[in-house]
Structure 1
Amino acid sequence: MKNFYIIILAVAVIGAGVVFYAIRGGSPALEPVDLGELGNAEMLELAQPAHVFGDPDAPITIMEFADYQCAGCMRFAGLVKPQVDAAYISTGRARLVFHDFPLINLHAHAFLAARAARCAGDQDRYADYHDLVFDTQNGWSVMESATGHFKELATQLELDADAFNDCLDSDRHADVVTANMRLGQAAGVNSTPTLFIHLGGGQAYQLGGAGFLDIQRAIESAGSGN
């Protein structure tokens, strides 16, 4: 897994910058985009563990940087991800790697939500909690405090409440969430959701959109060499 991140975030070094390829505006043409200077291997290591949906050895990797309080990320989780699941993840063609990228200047509860999901992950329920947080976003995103709601979600999943609450009430996982944010910033991420696709062979592609057709077009276009 670590080698994958070194590949996807260091595809081609030109001077102080790193070049990815982006698919923009539905065009099949692949255009180079300078994402600026990236961090070192230590930064990549600090951002682990990343959460993987699907077969860790799948040949295609879809990398998502997302914010739990972002409306577009909620739509991606509820509408697009199931389509990606059916077409690519459940078939073993691709894996989805989720990275926290809370937009803390815009969303007051996003960082806590990312930590809460990782607290659930301590009890091997990350994926279920991830889905519940997005499913209930319209409610908790407007609360003055979302802590009680996040604890209630843990109860719904029948997690060990004491262990979850102790985790959430501490600063556990704050360092990993912060490292994921820095990783995204180093890659030029400035909005959510932002997606990258890696098909092997040392090439990575940044998508210009986050719809299912954007993902499908990226995989097909990149795979054909267009």
Structure 2
Amino acid sequence: MKSYLIEISKKIVGLRQLAEAEIKKLNKKNMTEENTEIKEASVEPIEEEAFDQAPMDSEEGKDKKIKNLISAVILLSGLFVGSLFVDVVQLVRGGGFSERALSSADVFSSNGKTWVAYSEPLVKIQVISDDSCEQCKPDEVLIGLKQALPTMLNEKIDVNSEQGKKLVEQFKLKTIPAFVFSKEIEKTELFAKAEPFLDKQGESYAIKSAEAGFPVGKYIATPAVSDKDVAIGSNDAKVKVVAFANFQNPSDKQNFTTVISPMLKEYGDKIQLVFKGYVPPTATQAISATLAASCANEQGKFVQYAEKLFATQDAWGKAKDASASLKGYAATLGLNASDFNKCLDEKRYQATIDQSLAEGQSFGLQATPAIFVGSELKTGAVKYDDLKKVLDEKLAE
């Protein structure tokens, strides 16, 4: 198509130049004839028909030729300018279609593709991923996003690149693939629905992938550890194990008995265990148990108290008010009753429990048990041998 239109353009230029040349020649001749004196007396008489016919054929032919050339220029120019939305200036520059023509078209086809006009703006999305991670491919998510946002234009960014590292730091990204929208997302219909799952930093928006239910390819961050968290082992330990648990959950009871306790005995100070309660606000007994375990940790008896809670799970878990039972367990284990009771009654670690729940949700946790070994997550019924393999690999690094 482009070569065809260029050829027409060349023909137009050629015809126009030819027409201009003929007009100049005719004008020059007319001026010459006006300034020349014709001496009729010296010219021999010839037949009138021959005298009149020869000049008529010559002048009319030239006029007709010039008119035809001009008509051809006009015709071809009209075809050229109006042909398939093509803009002359854009064609010369190697560009595409005329903006003026396209503004009035909702749908058009070109080169085997159909183009549809949208009233929404072009929205750029940066896709942060890792080519070496097979599970981190964003293809399926991008297909879904494209259906919801047809005007999306994606740019792939390696998580290990300088740009990738800056985005990870800016949005505190925890998982990949991750997706960051340009500010134009604000002008789309999708924005109102998606806003609760977007984190704005500067003029860009990152999708809270885990909270939005997007599949996690790989974790690139680990849960934070504060001085309010229960931590067993040295802060200088090479490997940190962060366990999210619910004392009222039977699966957590089994996990603590068959995985956590053996791990602490085998690895000792080589690792640090950080315990975080992952309890919904409606589970009042479980919240009380988590508060009590944190209070026991103040006196260095977290593991013993946790074992007691799991062993008596059915008893305190079914009580309307578990406080009496929880205080009784503290006395049985030899804790300072006054200090323990004060800690429990004032709900000293409630803010820590709330923070742990929010943090777990930000990592996309749906249930417990959930164990992070570095940035690797193990969920559900974890086998000790599987966890041991991961621990040994991390310690050997």
In the TM superposition, what is the alpha-carbon distance from 1:123 to its structure 2 partner? Answer: 2.8
Q: Match for 2:386 among 214, 218, 221? A: 214
SS in 1 for 2:364: coil
Pairwise CA distance, 1:61 = 1.6
Q: Measured at CA, do residues 219 and 135 of structure 1 come closer, stay the same or move farther in structure 2, by a change above 3 Å?
A: same
Of 193, 196, 199, 2:372 maps to 196
Q: Which residue is equivalent to 1:14?
A: 178
In the alignment, the residues of structure 1 paired with residue 364 and residue 358 of structure 2 have an alpha-carbon distance, to the nearest angstrom, of 10
Task: State the shift of 1:183 in Å.
Answer: 1.1
SS in 1 for 2:325: helix
CA contact (8 A) 2:229 2:352 kept: no
Report if aligned partners of 2:296, 2:330 keep a CA contact under 8 Å in 1. yes
Structure 1 residues 85 and 125 mapped into 2: Cα distance closer, same or farther (>3 Å)? closer
Aligned equivalent of 1:100: 277
Q: Which residue number corresponds to residue 260 of structure 2?
A: 81
State the AA in 1 paired with 2:315.
G
TM-fit CA distance, 1:136: 1.8
Identity rate, percent: 23
- The structure having more radius of gyration, on CA atoms, is 2
Q: Deviations over 1:76-100 (max 9, x none)?
A: 112222321243x22x432221111
**Helix, strand or coil for the counterpart of 2:217?**
strand
User: Deviation at 1:117?
Assistant: 1.2
The equivalent position to 1:136 in structure 2, one of 308, 312, 325, is 312
Distance 2:339 2:394 in 1: 44
The answer to whether the 8 Å contact 1:104/1:110 transfers is no
Distance in 2, matches of 1:121 and 1:95, equals 15
Q: Deviations over 1:133-173 (max 9, x none)?
A: 12221321122221110010111122222222222222321
Report how many residues are paired: 194
Please state whether the residue corresponding to 1:109 is helix, strand or coil. Answer: helix
Farther-moved stretch of structure 1 (208-217 vs 8-17): 8-17
Q: Structure 2 unaligned runs (5+)?
A: 1-168, 180-205, 211-215
- Give, in angstroms, the shift of residue 120 of structure 1: 1.9
Give, in whole Å, the separation in 2 of the partners of 1:86 and 1:34.
28
Q: Secondary structure at the match of 1:95?
A: strand
Q: Provide the rounded CA distance (Å) in 1 between the counterparts of 2:391 and 2:177.
A: 23
The amino acid that maps onto 1:78 is T
Gaps of 5+ in 1: 1-5, 21-30, 199-203
Instruction: Find the residue that maps to 1:188 and give its secondary structure.
Output: coil
Q: CA deviation at 1:220?
A: 5.3
Range that drifts further, 8-17 or 185-194 = 8-17
Flag the 1:13–1:192 CA change in 2: closer, same or farther, 3 A: same
TM-score by length of structure 2 reads 0.43
Match of 1:66 among 245, 268, 292: 245
Shift of 1:64: 0.4
Identify which of 17, 27, 32 aligns with 2:217. Answer: 32
Task: Note the C-alpha offset of 1:187.
Answer: 1.2
**What is residue 171 of structure 1 aligned with on the other side?**
347
C-alpha separation in 2, matches of 1:221 and 1:163:
41
Give the Cα separation in 1 of the matches to 2:343 and 2:207: 38
Aligned AA for 1:215? L
Going from structure 1 to structure 2, the CA distance change for 1:71 and 1:221 (only over 3 Å counts) comes to same
SS at match of 2:228: coil
Q: Relative to structure 1, is the Cα distance of residues 99 and 58 closer, same or farther in structure 2, using a 3 angstrom cutoff?
A: same
Please identify which structure carries the higher helix content.
Answer: 2
- Answer yes or no: is 1:162 the counterpart of 2:338: yes
Q: Is the CA contact (8 Å cut-off) linking 1:196 and 1:207 kept in structure 2?
A: yes
Aligned to 1:205: 376
Deviation, 1:222, is 6.7
- Point out which structure has higher relative CO (alpha carbons under 8 A, 6+ apart): 1
**Quick one: which amino acid aligns to residue 95 of structure 1?**
Q
| Separation of aligned partners in 2, 1:32 and 1:80 | 25
1:178 to 1:93, Cα distance in 2 relative to 1, 3 A: same
Match of 1:201 in 2: none
Match of 2:289 in 1: 113
Task: Compute the displacement of 1:177 (Å).
Answer: 1.1
Q: Please report how far the alpha carbon of residue 195 of structure 1 lies from its aligned counterpart in structure 2 after TM superposition.
A: 0.9
Contact 2:176–2:218 (Cα < 8 Å) also in 1: no
TM-score, structure 1 normalization: 0.71
- Alignment correspondent of 1:152: 328
- Hey, what's the Cα distance between the residues in 2 that align with 1:220 and 1:74? 24
